[in-house]
Amino acid sequence: MISSVLDESILKRARDKGLLDVRVMNIRDFTLNKHHTADDYPYGGGAGMVLKVEPILRAVDFIREEEKELRIILLSPQGRRYNQTVAYELSREERRVVFLCGHYEGIDERVKTHLSPEEISIGDYVLTGGELAALVVIDSVVRLIPGVVGDRSSVEEESFNGILDYPHYTRPFEFRGMEVPSVLLSGDHEKIRLWRRRQALLNTLEKRPDLLSLAILSDEDRSILEKIKEEESL
Protein backbone atom coordinates (compact mmCIF):
# COMPACT_ATOMS: atom_id res chain seq x y z
CA MET A 1 0.00 0.00 0.00
CA ILE A 2 2.69 2.49 1.00
CA SER A 3 5.21 1.63 -1.71
CA SER A 4 2.63 2.06 -4.50
CA VAL A 5 1.95 5.66 -3.42
CA LEU A 6 5.63 6.50 -2.94
CA ASP A 7 6.34 5.39 -6.52
CA GLU A 8 4.02 7.97 -8.08
CA SER A 9 4.01 11.68 -8.91
CA ILE A 10 5.74 14.24 -6.67
CA LEU A 11 6.79 11.70 -4.04
CA LYS A 12 8.59 9.59 -6.64
CA ARG A 13 10.37 12.63 -8.06
CA ALA A 14 11.43 13.67 -4.55
CA ARG A 15 12.90 10.20 -3.97
CA ASP A 16 14.65 10.23 -7.34
CA LYS A 17 16.23 13.60 -6.44
CA GLY A 18 17.41 12.30 -3.08
CA LEU A 19 15.16 14.74 -1.21
CA LEU A 20 13.09 11.98 0.37
CA ASP A 21 14.15 8.67 1.89
CA VAL A 22 11.31 6.44 3.06
CA ARG A 23 11.88 2.91 4.33
CA VAL A 24 8.88 0.68 4.83
CA MET A 25 9.27 -1.86 7.63
CA ASN A 26 6.93 -4.74 8.36
CA ILE A 27 6.72 -5.47 12.07
CA ARG A 28 6.02 -9.14 11.24
CA ASP A 29 9.71 -9.35 10.33
CA PHE A 30 10.51 -8.69 14.01
CA THR A 31 8.38 -11.47 15.50
CA LEU A 32 9.96 -14.59 16.97
CA ASN A 33 7.41 -17.31 16.27
CA LYS A 34 7.20 -19.27 13.01
CA HIS A 35 3.83 -17.79 12.12
CA HIS A 36 5.14 -14.21 12.40
CA THR A 37 2.23 -13.26 14.66
CA ALA A 38 2.13 -9.51 15.30
CA ASP A 39 -1.25 -9.30 17.05
CA ASP A 40 -3.21 -11.13 19.72
CA TYR A 41 -6.54 -11.08 21.59
CA PRO A 42 -6.96 -8.28 24.14
CA TYR A 43 -6.62 -9.04 27.85
CA GLY A 44 -9.97 -8.54 29.52
CA GLY A 45 -11.89 -9.68 26.48
CA GLY A 46 -13.61 -7.69 23.78
CA ALA A 47 -13.77 -7.59 20.02
CA GLY A 48 -10.82 -7.22 17.68
CA MET A 49 -7.10 -7.77 17.95
CA VAL A 50 -4.27 -5.73 19.48
CA LEU A 51 -0.80 -5.24 18.00
CA LYS A 52 1.83 -6.83 20.22
CA VAL A 53 4.47 -4.82 22.04
CA GLU A 54 7.54 -7.00 21.24
CA PRO A 55 7.77 -6.71 17.44
CA ILE A 56 7.14 -2.95 17.49
CA LEU A 57 9.88 -2.29 20.04
CA ARG A 58 12.26 -4.64 18.24
CA ALA A 59 11.63 -2.78 14.99
CA VAL A 60 12.41 0.57 16.64
CA ASP A 61 15.53 -0.91 18.26
CA PHE A 62 16.64 -2.05 14.80
CA ILE A 63 16.25 1.48 13.42
CA ARG A 64 18.16 2.91 16.39
CA GLU A 65 21.14 0.73 15.54
CA GLU A 66 21.62 2.97 12.51
CA GLU A 67 20.29 6.28 13.82
CA LYS A 68 20.05 7.13 17.51
CA GLU A 69 18.14 10.39 17.16
CA LEU A 70 14.57 9.61 16.15
CA ARG A 71 11.30 11.50 16.21
CA ILE A 72 8.67 8.83 16.77
CA ILE A 73 5.08 9.57 15.76
CA LEU A 74 2.10 7.32 16.40
CA LEU A 75 -0.85 7.89 14.07
CA SER A 76 -3.78 7.84 16.46
CA PRO A 77 -7.26 9.38 16.81
CA GLN A 78 -6.13 10.36 20.32
CA GLY A 79 -3.37 12.59 18.99
CA ARG A 80 -3.19 16.33 18.36
CA ARG A 81 -4.98 17.42 15.21
CA TYR A 82 -2.75 17.50 12.17
CA ASN A 83 -2.66 20.76 10.22
CA GLN A 84 -0.42 22.85 7.97
CA THR A 85 1.50 24.26 10.94
CA VAL A 86 2.52 20.75 11.98
CA ALA A 87 3.40 19.96 8.36
CA TYR A 88 5.79 22.94 8.22
CA GLU A 89 7.28 21.88 11.54
CA LEU A 90 7.94 18.35 10.30
CA SER A 91 9.38 19.60 6.99
CA ARG A 92 12.17 21.26 8.99
CA GLU A 93 12.87 18.25 11.19
CA GLU A 94 16.51 17.13 11.03
CA ARG A 95 15.99 13.81 12.82
CA ARG A 96 14.67 10.73 11.08
CA VAL A 97 10.92 10.53 11.59
CA VAL A 98 9.44 7.12 12.43
CA PHE A 99 5.72 6.62 11.87
CA LEU A 100 4.07 3.87 13.89
CA CYS A 101 0.96 2.70 12.08
CA GLY A 102 -1.69 1.25 14.34
CA HIS A 103 -4.09 -1.45 13.22
CA TYR A 104 -7.14 -3.36 14.40
CA GLU A 105 -8.26 -2.21 17.86
CA GLY A 106 -4.95 -0.49 18.54
CA ILE A 107 -1.50 -1.24 19.93
CA ASP A 108 -0.36 -2.59 23.29
CA GLU A 109 -0.22 0.40 25.66
CA ARG A 110 3.32 -0.55 26.69
CA VAL A 111 4.55 0.68 23.32
CA LYS A 112 3.51 4.19 24.37
CA THR A 113 4.94 3.73 27.85
CA HIS A 114 8.33 2.66 26.53
CA LEU A 115 8.70 4.98 23.51
CA SER A 116 6.62 8.01 24.58
CA PRO A 117 5.77 8.79 20.95
CA GLU A 118 4.01 11.90 19.75
CA GLU A 119 0.45 11.12 18.74
CA ILE A 120 -1.02 12.75 15.64
CA SER A 121 -4.56 12.50 14.32
CA ILE A 122 -5.51 13.47 10.76
CA GLY A 123 -9.20 13.70 11.70
CA ASP A 124 -12.04 12.52 13.90
CA TYR A 125 -12.84 9.29 12.10
CA VAL A 126 -11.61 5.70 12.08
CA LEU A 127 -9.38 4.11 9.42
CA THR A 128 -8.54 0.44 9.05
CA GLY A 129 -4.93 1.24 9.82
CA GLY A 130 -2.44 4.05 10.22
CA GLU A 131 -0.78 3.51 6.83
CA LEU A 132 -3.10 5.89 4.96
CA ALA A 133 -2.73 8.50 7.72
CA ALA A 134 1.07 8.21 7.50
CA LEU A 135 0.91 8.71 3.73
CA VAL A 136 -1.22 11.83 4.17
CA VAL A 137 1.38 13.29 6.54
CA ILE A 138 4.31 12.30 4.32
CA ASP A 139 2.72 13.79 1.20
CA SER A 140 1.82 17.09 2.87
CA VAL A 141 5.27 17.43 4.50
CA VAL A 142 7.45 16.47 1.54
CA ARG A 143 5.96 19.07 -0.81
CA LEU A 144 7.14 21.76 1.64
CA ILE A 145 10.79 20.71 1.33
CA PRO A 146 12.69 23.11 -0.99
CA GLY A 147 13.30 21.57 -4.40
CA VAL A 148 10.40 19.10 -4.31
CA VAL A 149 7.79 21.34 -5.97
CA GLY A 150 9.11 23.23 -8.99
CA ASP A 151 7.27 26.51 -8.45
CA ARG A 152 7.86 27.49 -4.83
CA SER A 153 5.28 30.29 -5.00
CA SER A 154 2.52 27.76 -5.67
CA VAL A 155 3.25 26.14 -2.29
CA GLU A 156 3.38 29.47 -0.48
CA GLU A 157 0.00 30.60 -1.87
CA GLU A 158 -1.95 27.41 -1.18
CA SER A 159 -4.93 26.93 1.10
CA PHE A 160 -4.32 26.72 4.83
CA ASN A 161 -1.40 29.10 4.77
CA GLY A 162 -3.71 31.10 7.03
CA ILE A 163 -6.73 31.48 4.75
CA LEU A 164 -8.41 29.47 1.99
CA ASP A 165 -7.41 29.79 -1.64
CA TYR A 166 -8.94 32.10 -4.25
CA PRO A 167 -10.82 30.72 -7.33
CA HIS A 168 -8.71 29.55 -10.28
CA TYR A 169 -9.57 29.67 -14.00
CA THR A 170 -7.98 28.55 -17.27
CA ARG A 171 -9.00 28.21 -20.93
CA PRO A 172 -11.56 28.33 -22.45
CA PHE A 173 -12.73 31.84 -21.55
CA GLU A 174 -16.41 30.85 -21.88
CA PHE A 175 -18.01 27.46 -21.26
CA ARG A 176 -21.75 26.80 -21.12
CA GLY A 177 -22.43 30.45 -20.50
CA MET A 178 -19.89 30.73 -17.67
CA GLU A 179 -17.14 33.27 -18.28
CA VAL A 180 -13.82 33.91 -16.57
CA PRO A 181 -13.92 37.10 -14.43
CA SER A 182 -12.81 39.95 -16.66
CA VAL A 183 -10.31 41.30 -14.10
CA LEU A 184 -8.11 38.25 -14.71
CA LEU A 185 -7.74 39.26 -18.37
CA SER A 186 -7.14 42.94 -17.63
CA GLY A 187 -3.37 42.74 -17.44
CA ASP A 188 -3.49 44.96 -14.35
CA HIS A 189 -1.44 42.97 -11.85
CA GLU A 190 -2.43 45.07 -8.86
CA LYS A 191 -6.14 44.72 -9.59
CA ILE A 192 -5.67 40.97 -10.05
CA ARG A 193 -3.79 40.72 -6.76
CA LEU A 194 -6.52 42.61 -4.88
CA TRP A 195 -9.29 40.56 -6.53
CA ARG A 196 -7.60 37.31 -5.58
CA ARG A 197 -7.00 38.43 -2.02
CA ARG A 198 -10.61 39.55 -1.66
CA GLN A 199 -11.89 36.25 -3.04
CA ALA A 200 -9.62 34.29 -0.70
CA LEU A 201 -10.83 36.22 2.33
CA LEU A 202 -14.47 35.92 1.19
CA ASN A 203 -14.00 32.18 0.67
CA THR A 204 -12.59 31.81 4.18
CA LEU A 205 -15.28 33.97 5.75
CA GLU A 206 -18.05 31.90 4.14
CA LYS A 207 -16.58 28.40 4.50
CA ARG A 208 -14.09 28.42 7.39
CA PRO A 209 -14.53 31.60 9.50
CA ASP A 210 -12.72 29.83 12.35
CA LEU A 211 -9.46 30.13 10.42
CA LEU A 212 -9.62 33.93 10.42
CA SER A 213 -9.13 34.05 14.19
CA LEU A 214 -5.82 32.19 13.77
CA ALA A 215 -4.57 33.80 10.55
CA ILE A 216 -2.00 36.58 10.48
CA LEU A 217 -3.91 39.38 8.74
CA SER A 218 -2.46 42.60 7.34
CA ASP A 219 -4.13 45.98 7.63
CA GLU A 220 -5.17 45.56 4.00
CA ASP A 221 -6.78 42.19 4.83
CA ARG A 222 -8.74 43.70 7.69
CA SER A 223 -9.90 46.55 5.47
CA ILE A 224 -11.06 44.09 2.80
CA LEU A 225 -12.92 42.01 5.40
CA GLU A 226 -14.66 45.11 6.74
CA LYS A 227 -15.84 46.02 3.25
CA ILE A 228 -17.07 42.47 2.65
CA LYS A 229 -19.05 42.50 5.91
CA GLU A 230 -20.51 45.93 5.11
CA GLU A 231 -21.64 44.71 1.68
CA GLU A 232 -23.23 41.60 3.16
CA SER A 233 -25.20 43.67 5.68
CA LEU A 234 -26.72 45.86 2.94
Task: Assign domain 2-142 to its CATH superfamily.
Answer: SPOUT methyltransferase, trefoil knot domain (3.40.1280.10)
pLDDT at position 156: 63
Amino acid 157: pLDDT: 60
What are the residues whose beta carbons fall under 8 Å from the beta carbon of 171, sequence distance 6 or more? none
Whether domain 174-233 has CATH 1.10.1270.20: yes
CA dihedral 171, 174, 175, 181 (to 10 degrees): 90
Give start-end residues of each CATH 1.10.1270.20 domain in the chain.
174-233
Rounded to the nearest 10 degrees, the angle between the axes of helix 84-91 and helix 131-142 is 70
pLDDT tier at 147, thresholds 50, 70, 90: very high
Angstrom distance (rounded) from CA 229 to CA 177: 29
Question: Where are the CATH 3.40.1280.10 domain residues in the chain?
Answer: 2-142
**Mean pLDDT across the stretch 181-185?**
97
Task: Tell whether the model's pLDDT for residue 222 goes beyond 60.
Answer: yes
Q: State what percent of residues in the chain have pLDDT above 90.
A: 83
pTM as predicted: 0.85
Per-residue pLDDT reduced to its tens digit, 52-90: 999 999 999 999 999 999 999 999 988 999 999 999 999
CA pair distance 220, 71, nearest whole angstrom: 40
What are 99's strand-pairing partners? 73
pLDDT band at 234 (very low <50, low <70, confident <90, very high): low
